[in-house]
Chains A and B, each alone.
Chain A
Amino acid sequence: MTAPIQIKSGETFTLNVGPQHPATHGVLRVKMDMDGEYIVNAETVIGYIHRMHEKMGELKTYPQFLMNLSRMDYLGALGYSHGHVLLVEKAAGIEVPERAEYIRAITVELNRIASHLFWFGAFVMDLGGFSPLMYALQDREYILDMLEGITGSRLTYCYYRFGGLYNDVDDTFLAAARRFIPRMRKSLKKYHKLVTGNIIFRKRLEGIAPLTQEICRKYGATSAVARGSGINFDVRKNEPYSVYPEFDFDIPVYHECDSLARYNVRMEEMEQSLRIIEQGLDKLPDGPVMPEKKPRIKIPPGDYYQAVETARGSFGIRLVSDGGKNPYRLKLRSPTYSNMHLFDESCRGMLIMDALAFMGSLDLVIPEIDR
């Protein structure tokens, strides 16, 4: 990957990757103009599972929309719910008990690890290694069991309420979370031994698909895509919300800009999330998880915005209220939408197998792009 690739003008052919293709992790289609194994041009086609969540947002009342958020990103659902409840609480001036906010942070971080674990397994499988997926899913299972115990569901959680939580965590959850931390740390070591140092793995990623900071900025890339390009941006630090300022954690940033950098960022993020969970469990205050009086959701007319750091990047949610029972307009800014968008421009001149490795490093969840 040192000499720039020269594409000769000549015959090209069109290759359809997707809409049903294992490498796209969902219903995504990329129309590629190919010159042999090299991509001359690519056009991403999305919208196959578009469900118009934003219209539902206008037609449903505020509480009715709660469960829609977890249908966006099925791997890291809690982060999205968190953004929604924070926005409505901010706009309506609802106070949240401290314990509830701590539990939210703990569960969001657990969910982030679960999401990264799934990405890790699927990403390595994209590159041809099957067994890491099995290890990753086993660790993820512990998290899903824990979250199932308190939220009642394994994937599409609807756990947060305006003002607090659906229910308090129990001792089983707390004990399981405590047990999970050392086990996960051991697993991370195992993953690094198993995958990170593997020469085939490294050769597939090192120097592949470099993304400049300029491209990230022009496309609004966030999450590991930006942090792998040397941009120190994480909403949890840049725009602190919830109880994150109380925690001591770092934002991993790599400057290599390649697929391996994006991999390294996510792997390190899991360790940082473990640190947050550990501190959260130590500091967890006593008290109620819902305000004593059921909060009234009355939002004065205006335009409100809230950004949160989900597993996939900066998720923004905008609410335009006219003072009614339903939002006048609800805009969901999904992070992968912007991250995926830069694929078309960046993959030109790449070998197709490199492009697929690159796509894997973007950590795509298609329902979240299509909304």
Chain B
Amino acid sequence: MIREKILQELQGLFPQAAEPAKTPPPSDVASEAETEKKKPKKEEPRANGVIERDYKVHGYHIDAQVSVDQLLGAVNILDKLEFFIESITGVDWIKEDQLEVIYDFSRYDFDLCRVVIRTRVPRKDPSVPTITEIYAGANWHERETHDFFGIKFEGHPHLIPLLLPEDADFHPLLKDYKA
């Protein structure tokens, strides 16, 4: 099963941090709905690590939050195991003053395993390394994410507006963007 393999490999990225990484998975889904009712307050941003998610609820199996330095390592692992890139996108967590970059990967074979890699960068200077060297198809996805969130992809060969007008200097999906 590819799922155990990828889980193991991704957890290998967190050598000492293996302990804190294991604590969050507990009752991820079943109790998620219940606990939400009790404490609607926003919770702490989660620590980096790998979590197994309930596919029936979330639609993916493995959810790995990595630091910016670990990103290329994680993507390399997926490339080696023949995952294909689904998309790249961002989320603006304005309350935590962070931007999140989300990478989706999936497989062509019937060993179904969807993997989500996410990393967080400060809102002030959002910058992550490009993965176009590994996945050429990340090119447009990264340009789009740059358009919408202003996240800089270091080393991207052609980081100019793609969907927005060519002279666009605004980033419409930032939560503090006013048209």
Using an 8 Å CB-CB cutoff, how does the interface string of A284-312 with B read, 1 for contact, 0 for none? 00000000000000001111111100000
Q: B108, A323: Cβ atoms under 8 Å?
A: no
The stretch of B4-12, B120-128, B131-139 that contacts the partner chain: B131-139
Q: B164, A50: Cβ atoms under 8 Å?
A: yes
Q: B59, A87: Cβ atoms under 8 Å?
A: yes
B-chain residues with CB within 8 Å of residue A87 when the two chains form the complex? 59
The stretch of A106-114, A119-127, A203-211, A218-226 that contacts the partner chain: A218-226
B-chain residues with CB within 8 Å of residue A371 when the two chains form the complex? 163
Question: What separation, in Å, do the CA atoms of A93 and B37 have in the docked complex?
Answer: 15
Q: A305, B135: Cβ atoms under 8 Å?
A: no
Q: A90, B59: Cβ atoms under 8 Å?
A: yes
User: A338 at the A/B interface (Cβ < 8 Å)?
Assistant: yes
User: B106 at the A/B interface (Cβ < 8 Å)?
Assistant: yes
B-chain residues with CB within 8 Å of residue A52 when the two chains form the complex? 172
* Closest 6 A/B residue pairs (Cβ): A219-B137, A305-B59, A47-B163, A333-B87, A50-B163, A217-B84
Of the four ranges (under 10, 10 to 19, 20 to 34, 35 or more), the interface on chain B belongs to: 35 or more
Q: A345, B32: Cβ atoms under 8 Å?
A: no
Q: A54, B60: Cβ atoms under 8 Å?
A: no
User: A179 at the A/B interface (Cβ < 8 Å)?
Assistant: no
Q: A218, B163: Cβ atoms under 8 Å?
A: no
Known contacts A218-B85, A232-B109; 6 additional CB pairs below 8 A are A219-B85, A220-B86, A238-B112, A300-B33, A302-B58, A338-B87
B-chain residues with CB within 8 Å of residue A46 when the two chains form the complex? 162-163
Question: What separation, in Å, do the CA atoms of A55 and B177 have in the docked complex?
Answer: 11
Q: B57, A341: Cβ atoms under 8 Å?
A: no
A-chain residues with CB within 8 Å of residue B135 when the two chains form the complex? 218-220
Q: A217, B108: Cβ atoms under 8 Å?
A: yes
Question: What separation, in Å, do the CA atoms of A205 and B172 have in the docked complex?
Answer: 42
Q: B163, A219: Cβ atoms under 8 Å?
A: no
User: A325 at the A/B interface (Cβ < 8 Å)?
Assistant: no
Question: What separation, in Å, do the CA atoms of A58 and B92 have in the docked complex?
Answer: 12
A-chain residues with CB within 8 Å of residue B56 when the two chains form the complex? 90
Q: A316, B104: Cβ atoms under 8 Å?
A: yes
Q: A305, B33: Cβ atoms under 8 Å?
A: no
CB interface residues, A 341-369, toward B, < 8 Å: 341-342, 345
A-chain residues with CB within 8 Å of residue B42 when the two chains form the complex? 301, 322
Question: What separation, in Å, do the CA atoms of A42 and B168 have in the docked complex?
Answer: 23
Using an 8 Å CB-CB cutoff, how does the interface string of B155-173 with A read, 1 for contact, 0 for none? 0000001111100000011
Q: A320, B91: Cβ atoms under 8 Å?
A: yes
User: A328 at the A/B interface (Cβ < 8 Å)?
Assistant: yes
Q: A300, B32: Cβ atoms under 8 Å?
A: yes
A-chain residues with CB within 8 Å of residue B33 when the two chains form the complex? 93, 300
Question: What separation, in Å, do the CA atoms of A341 and B172 have in the docked complex?
Answer: 23
Q: B91, A329: Cβ atoms under 8 Å?
A: yes
Question: What separation, in Å, do the CA atoms of A49 and B76 have in the docked complex?
Answer: 35
CB distance from B13 to the nearest CB of A (A): 20
10 CB contacts below 8 A, A to B, read A46-B162, A50-B163, A87-B59, A217-B84, A218-B85, A303-B116, A305-B104, A314-B106, A341-B137, A341-B139
Q: B87, A47: Cβ atoms under 8 Å?
A: no
CB distance from A139 to the nearest CB of B (A): 32
Q: A318-B89, A323-B40 are in contact. Are A55 and B172 (CB under 8 A)?
A: yes
Q: B59, A302: Cβ atoms under 8 Å?
A: no
Using an 8 Å CB-CB cutoff, how does the interface string of A25-68 with B read, 1 for contact, 0 for none? 00000000000000000000011001010110010000000000
Which residue of the partner chain, among B102, B108, B148, contacts A318 with CB atoms under 8 Å? B102
B-chain residues with CB within 8 Å of residue A323 when the two chains form the complex? 36, 40
Q: A55-B172, A342-B137 are in contact. Are A233 and B108 (CB under 8 A)?
A: yes
